[in-house]
Chains A and B, each alone.
Chain A
Amino acid sequence: MTSISMTVNGKPASGEVEGRTLLVQFLREDLRLTGTHVGCDTSQCGACVVHVNGEAVKACTMFAADADGADVRTIEGMANADGSLGTIQQAFQDHHGLQCGFCTPGMVMSAAALLKDNPKPTEAEIREYLEGNICRCTGYHNIIKAIQAASGQLTAVAAE
C-alpha cells in the first residue's frame, strides 16, 4: 500500500492505495466523490474525465499513486462558490444537454478543458474534441448547443 495525498476540488485529500488502484477508484470509493463515473473498461467512454493539474484526464487511465501531489478537479468542484451552477453546467441545463446524466460529468469536464484552450470553438471543433466522450441519449445535438452557449456563441434567441 502507498500513502498518497493530493488536492481535490481545492481541499486536501489523502489515503492508502494499492499500486493497481485507479484514480477513478480512489475518487469514487475512498473519497466518495461518486459524480465521476465508470462507463467502460477500455478508456473509451469518457464518463470519468476529471482535471489533473488543469488537464482533462480519463481517471480510469491513471493510477491513483500517479496523482500523488496533484491538483485534481472533479464535477463536484464545478459549481460556483455560492453553490449555483457554473457557466457550462448552466448551459447544459438551459439547452437540455443531458438526459440520463451518466456521461454528463465527463462531458462537462471535457467541455471545460476545451473552452480553456479554445474559447470560441466551431461546431466541428467541438465535435472533434468530444470524440472521446460517448453519450447514448442526446445524439450530441444539445451538447453541442450547450457548449456553444457556454462559449458565448449562441444567443438566447438562437437557442429557442
Chain B
Amino acid sequence: MPKDSGIGASSKRREDVRFLTGNGNYTDDHSMQGEAHAVMVRSNVAHGKILSIDTSAVENMPGVLAVFTGEDFVEVGGNPAGWLIHSRDGEPMREPKRPVLAHGKVRHVGDAYAAIIAETVQQGRDAAEALAAATEIEELPAVVNMAAAVANADNRVHDEIPDNLCFDWGWIEDNRDAVDQALKDAPHVTTLELVNNRLVPNAMEPRSSIGEYYSSDDSYKLTTTSQNPHLTKLLVCAFVLGIPEHKMTVVAPDVGGGFGSKIYHYGEEALVLVAAKKLRRPVRWTAERSESFLSDAHGRDHVTTIEVGATLDGEILAIRTNTLANVGAYLSNFSTATPTFLHGTLMAGPYKVPHVYVNLKAVFTNTAPVDAYRGAGRPEATYSIERAVDKMARELKLDPVEVRRKNLLTPDQFPYTTPVALVYDTGNYQATLDKALELADYAGFEARAAESKSRGKLRGMGLSTWIEACGIAPSHLVGQLGSRVGLYDAATVRVNATGSISVMVGAHSHGQGHETVFAQIVADKLGIDEGAVDIVHGDTSKIPFGMGSYGSRSLAVCGSAMDRAMDKIIAKGKKIAAHMLEASEGDIVFEDGSFKVEGTDKAKAFGEIAFAAYVPHNYPLEEVEPGLEETAFYDPNNFTYPAGAYLCEVEVDPDTGVVEVVAFTCADDFGNVMNPMIVEGQVHGGVVQGIGQAMIENTTYDENGQLMSGSYMDYAMPRADDVPMITVDHSCATPCTHNPLGVKGCGEAGAIGSPPALVNAVIDALNRGGHDVAHIDMPVTPSRVWSAMNG
C-alpha cells in the first residue's frame, strides 16, 4: 500500500488551494499605498554608441516623476559574475562591468539605458516612447555569430576585449595529450558538429520587482521574482548599491516558475530601490512578455564539435569536445560556471571512458546574456555525448542499446572517479536501461514500425542514457575552482510552545512544492502530523542565509540542513526528557513522536517536551537553555548524481517532415523519493521542456542582432497538443551515499535526458525509411526534417 503521509507519500500539495482559488501571492499581485511605476527604456539596436539622451523632453510629460539614465549609476557597482574562470594560459576571464543601466554603449536589443518613473504604467510608457525618440544612438556593426566574433578583432562588444573572448578553458588540461593520442590510435573516430540551440526560459510569470524605502530607519525592502532572495540581497547590497545588508529585506513571495531565469540579480531590482528612495514612494516594475524575451537570461547556445574514439565493437576509448559558448553581451551571475563546471565535468557521461578532454571558449556577442536554464550545462553535455554515441553505433552498424550496455559503468565500479574530476558515488545504470526498455515495450517496436509503415509513416526509436550532477558542492572545492559564493544551505526548525513547528528554509519554492514535501519530512522524523508543520521560505527577514533553489539542490542540500537541525532538536529533547523522567540521557530514545526511557513504559510526548522548553518549571536549566529552536547549515561533501534512461518513439510524416512524439518513457534513479506525485510531475515538465528544445523552440537573432523570436507568436512554446502522455518510473533507486535523506534531485532530469532521445529517434526513423541522414540540428522542425530527407 502506498503511504498516506510522511516520507514516500504522495501528499497533496497544500499550496494548491491558494493557487486554485485565485489567492496566490505573486509580486505583481501586491498593491502598495502611493506606489509609482517604472518603465524601462530599452535599446532597439544591438550595438550602438549613446550620443545623447535629452531627458528634458519628457520631464514635464503627464505623470512623469523621475527619469534615470546610465549616468545616474556610474558611481555604483556592477552586477558581478559569481564564478571566476581561468583560461588555459592561466589568465583570468575578462569581466566587463554590467551596469544597472547601460552607459556609453548599448550592447543588445533590449539593453535598458534609461528608466521612467511615473504615476501610472501608461504614462510611463508614453514617456519611454518619447525619451527613445529624444535619444541619439549611433548604430555600430553587431557581433552576433560566435565564430565571426572571435575571428574579427575590430568589431568588439566591449572595447577593451579585442577578440570578444571571455575565456578559453580546458578541462582537464593535463588530459589533452593523452586524448589526442587516444583519438589518433582509435580504430574508429566519430565526429559530429552540432548546435545546442538557444532557448528562452519563459517562466509564465514575467519578472517583477517592487522597491520600498523607509526613511524612519533608512532601510529598504525589495519584493521580487527570485529563486534565491538571499543571493539577490547580497548582490544588490554588497556589490551593486553599497547598502548595508541589515538595512535590506528581500522577499520573493509566490514565484510563477523560474527554470533558472530568476536565479540572477537584474538591474531593474536595483533601479526600483534607488527610485523608491529618491521619490520616497514604493516603485514597481513588471516586465511585459516582450521585455522578458529581450532581457531575461537565455539558455544553452553552444556550437560543439565532439569526437568519440572507439573500437570497432563500440567500446569508447576517448572523447574530445571543442565548444563555442555564447555568454551574450554581459556576464550574468552564473554564466561562467554553467558552460564550464556544470558542462565539461559531465563529459564522461555514465560511461567508463579512459580519456576525456573539453575545450570551451566563452564568447561575448550583442545578444541578451546567456546563463543557466533548467539543466544548465548538463543538457549540453548529455546532448553532445548521446548524439555522438548514437552516431558511432550507426557508423559501426551496432545496436545503440548494446553500445550503451558495453560502456555503462557497472554497480561494482562505484565510487568512480571520472577523467573529468567527478566522483560518482553510486548508481545502477543497467537497471534504469532495462526498466526503460521494458516500459517502452522495446521488444514490440518492430511490429509498431511495420504498422506505421503500412500507414505511410516512418517510425523511430531513440535512446539516451544520461547522468547529471546536482546539489553543487562542496564549498571548499568549488572555491578552489573559482566560485565566489558558498554552496551550502540552511534551515531553522522552531518548535513552538504547544508543539507545532515552523521551519524557516533557505531553499525557495517556485512550483516545486516545498511547503508540502518539507513538511512531510519533518512530520515523518518528529512523528507529528504534517498539518502541524509550516514551511517558511522566501523572506530574508525570516529565513537563515541559504542559497535558494536551482540545480536540483533543494532537498539534497536544504533538506539535509533541515534534517540536521531536527537532529539537534531531538538531541536537546533527550536532555529535557532525561531530566523530566529522572533517567540518564543515554537511556532516552526518540521514537514514534515520544521520548522514552528505553525498556520501560516511561515516556514524554513531543508536545510535552516542547512545552517544558518554553515553560521551564521542571527543567535542567543548569545544563540546557530554555526554548526549542535549532539551526543547521549543511555543506555537502559531493555532488549528487541522478541518472536514467529515456526512450523516445516518434512518427515522421515523410511527405511533410512533421515529427510526432508518440511515446516517451523515462526510467530515473533519483535515490530516495520523498513524494512520488511531485517527482513525477517534475519529470513530466522537464521532459516537455526538452521536447520543446528538440522539436520546436528556437531563439533567433538576425545578422543585425534583432531578436526574430520575441513573442509567443514567433517563439514556439510546447502546447498541450504538441506532446504525449509521459511514462515515468523511479523504482530503480540507489540512494545517495552522502546526504542524510539519500536523495539526488529530480528537477532538471527531464530536460537533460530528453533532447538527444528525441533527435536520435528522428534519425532512426529517417534511416529506417532509407534516408541516409547522420544528423539534424535542433529544433527538428518539419522544414529541417524534410530538407534532410530530400537532400
Interface of A toward B, CB cutoff 8 Å? 18, 20, 28-29, 32-42, 44-45, 47, 74-76, 78-79, 85, 89, 92-94, 96, 98-105, 108, 123-124, 126-128, 130-131, 133-144, 160
- Could you mark each residue 683-694 of chain B with 1 if its beta carbon is under 8 Å from any beta carbon of chain A, else 0? 011111100000
User: Once the chains are docked, how many angstroms separate the CA of A100 from the CA of B289?
Assistant: 17
Known: A34-B29, A100-B510, A141-B726. A44 touches B713 (CB 8 A): yes
User: Once the chains are docked, how many angstroms separate the CA of A93 from the CA of B511?
Assistant: 13
User: Once the chains are docked, how many angstroms separate the CA of A141 from the CA of B320?
Assistant: 38
Contact A35 B21 (CB under 8 A): yes
User: Once the chains are docked, how many angstroms separate the CA of A51 from the CA of B20?
Assistant: 16
With a CB–CB cut-off of 8 A, which chain B residues contact A41? 288-290, 711
Contact B713 A42 (CB under 8 A): yes
With a CB–CB cut-off of 8 A, which chain A residues contact B257? 99-100, 102, 136-137
A139 is contacted by which of B2, B255, B685 (Cβ under 8 Å)? B685
User: Once the chains are docked, how many angstroms separate the CA of A133 from the CA of B290?
Assistant: 18
A129 to B, closest residue via Cβ: B720
With a CB–CB cut-off of 8 A, which chain B residues contact A102? 24, 26, 203-205, 256-257
Q: Which residues 421-442 of B sit at the A interface, judged by CB distance below 8 A?
A: none
- Could you mark each residue 1-41 of chain B with 1 if its beta carbon is under 8 Å from any beta carbon of chain A, else 0? 01000000000110111111111101011010000000000
Closest 5 CB pairs of A and B: A35-B22, A101-B19, A102-B256, A100-B511, A139-B688
Contact B29 A92 (CB under 8 A): no
Could you list 18 further interchain pairs (A-B, Cβ under 8 angstroms) beyond the known A127-B720, A130-B720, A140-B723? A44-B712, A75-B20, A76-B21, A79-B21, A93-B13, A96-B681, A98-B20, A100-B256, A101-B24, A124-B721, A128-B721, A130-B719, A130-B721, A131-B720, A136-B259, A136-B685, A137-B257, A141-B684
A127 is contacted by which of B23, B677, B721 (Cβ under 8 Å)? B721
Contact B19 A104 (CB under 8 A): yes
User: Once the chains are docked, how many angstroms separate the CA of A100 from the CA of B549?
Assistant: 14
Instruction: Supply 19 A–B pairs (Cβ within 8 Å), ascending by A.
Output: A35-B21, A35-B23, A40-B289, A75-B20, A85-B21, A92-B20, A96-B680, A101-B15, A101-B19, A102-B204, A104-B19, A124-B721, A130-B720, A130-B721, A131-B720, A133-B720, A134-B717, A136-B203, A138-B688
Contact B31 A142 (CB under 8 A): no
A89 to B, closest residue via Cβ: B20
B715 to A, closest residue via Cβ: A44
Known: A37-B26, A42-B289. A20 touches B122 (CB 8 A): yes
Q: Is B96 an interface residue (CB 8 A)?
A: no
Contact B719 A134 (CB under 8 A): yes
User: Once the chains are docked, how many angstroms separate the CA of A118 from the CA of B180?
Assistant: 64
Q: Is B151 an interface residue (CB 8 A)?
A: no
Interface of B toward A, CB cutoff 8 Å? 2, 12-13, 15-24, 26, 28-29, 31, 122, 202-206, 254-257, 259, 288-290, 510-513, 677-678, 680-681, 684-689, 711-713, 717-721, 723, 725-726, 750
User: Once the chains are docked, how many angstroms separate the CA of A79 from the CA of B23?
Assistant: 12
B31 to chain A, nearest CB (A): 7
Contact A45 B204 (CB under 8 A): yes
User: Once the chains are docked, how many angstroms separate the CA of A2 from the CA of B731?
Assistant: 61
The secondary-structure label for the interface of chain B is loop
With a CB–CB cut-off of 8 A, which chain A residues contact B686? 139
A109 to chain B, nearest CB (A): 10
Contact B685 A40 (CB under 8 A): no
With a CB–CB cut-off of 8 A, which chain A residues contact B289? 39-42, 45
With a CB–CB cut-off of 8 A, which chain A residues contact B204? 37, 39, 45, 47, 100, 102-103, 134-137
User: Once the chains are docked, how many angstroms separate the CA of A154 from the CA of B167?
Assistant: 55
Contact A140 B712 (CB under 8 A): no
B332 to chain A, nearest CB (A): 20
With a CB–CB cut-off of 8 A, which chain A residues contact B122? 18, 20
A42 to chain B, nearest CB (A): 5
With a CB–CB cut-off of 8 A, which chain A residues contact B688? 138-141
User: Once the chains are docked, how many angstroms separate the CA of A36 from the CA of B122?
Assistant: 20
B685 is contacted by which of A76, A78, A93, A99 (Cβ under 8 Å)? A99
Contact B21 A98 (CB under 8 A): no
Contact A101 B712 (CB under 8 A): no
With a CB–CB cut-off of 8 A, which chain A residues contact B719? 130-131, 134, 140
With a CB–CB cut-off of 8 A, which chain B residues contact A74? 22
With a CB–CB cut-off of 8 A, which chain B residues contact A127? 720-721
With a CB–CB cut-off of 8 A, which chain B residues contact A28? 29
B411 to chain A, nearest CB (A): 30
User: Once the chains are docked, how many angstroms separate the CA of A75 from the CA of B725?
Assistant: 27
A93 is contacted by which of B20, B205, B288 (Cβ under 8 Å)? B20
User: Once the chains are docked, how many angstroms separate the CA of A142 from the CA of B18?
Assistant: 18
User: Once the chains are docked, how many angstroms separate the CA of A93 from the CA of B10?
Assistant: 12
With a CB–CB cut-off of 8 A, which chain A residues contact B28? 34, 38
Point out which of B21, B288, B717, B720 has the most chain A C-beta atoms below 10 A from its C-beta. Answer: B720
With a CB–CB cut-off of 8 A, which chain B residues contact A136? 202-204, 257, 259, 685, 689, 717
With a CB–CB cut-off of 8 A, which chain A residues contact B15? 101
Contact A108 B20 (CB under 8 A): yes
User: Once the chains are docked, how many angstroms separate the CA of A35 from the CA of B254?
Assistant: 12
B288 to A, closest residue via Cβ: A41
B254 to A, closest residue via Cβ: A101
With a CB–CB cut-off of 8 A, which chain A residues contact B23? 35, 76
A125 to B, closest residue via Cβ: B721
User: Once the chains are docked, how many angstroms separate the CA of A20 from the CA of B510?
Assistant: 33
Contact B256 A78 (CB under 8 A): no
Contact A139 B22 (CB under 8 A): no
Contact A126 B720 (CB under 8 A): yes
With a CB–CB cut-off of 8 A, which chain B residues contact A133? 720
B727 to A, closest residue via Cβ: A141
